[in-house]
Amino acid sequence: QVQLVESGGASVQPGGSLRLSCAASGSTFGHPIMGWFRQAPGKEREGVAATDSDGSTSYADSVKGRFTISRDNAKNTLYLQMNSLKPEDTAMYYCAADPRRMSTVQTLGASPSYWGQGTQVTVSS
């Protein structure tokens, strides 16, 4: 089993920044592909960003240029730096991992095997 714990969610004003972290523990099966997903009330779940063990990344069009995903394999930690936040970014953000071999683009549209409990991000004035 893999356990994922997110942290860093908060309430911020439009234009602000946040950095989310995801700590992985348990059996991580050799650094799986990992990503961030989000879901707002009344909306479908959206793949935000994904990264594989080599550091390749993919982003949803809505966050390109504003969000940056990164990982520290030695620390088993995933990060999401969010800048220029907009009210539309308000959602519960989930860290996810999957042992299957696929591209980061494919991961954004997939349903990963392991999920964290989520951390709330609220952007409002």
In this prediction, residue 123 carries a pLDDT of 98
Total residues belonging to the chain = 125
Q: What is the mean pLDDT of residues 72-99?
A: 95
pLDDT of residue 100: 85
11 vs 32: CA distance, rounded Å: 30
Predicted pLDDT of residue 54 = 85
Q: Is the pLDDT of residue 22 over 70?
A: yes
Residue 29 has pLDDT above 70, yes or no: no
Q: What is the pLDDT of residues 30-54, one digit of tens each?
A: 778 899 999 999 999 999 999 998 8
User: What are the residues whose beta carbons fall under 8 Å from the beta carbon of 118, sequence distance 6 or more?
Assistant: 6, 92, 93, 94
pLDDT, tens digit (0-9, with 9 covering 90-100), for 56-84 = 999 999 999 999 999 998 888 999 999 99
Q: Kind of pairing, strands 114-115 and 77-82?
A: unpaired
| pLDDT band per the 50, 70, 90 thresholds, residue 106 | very high
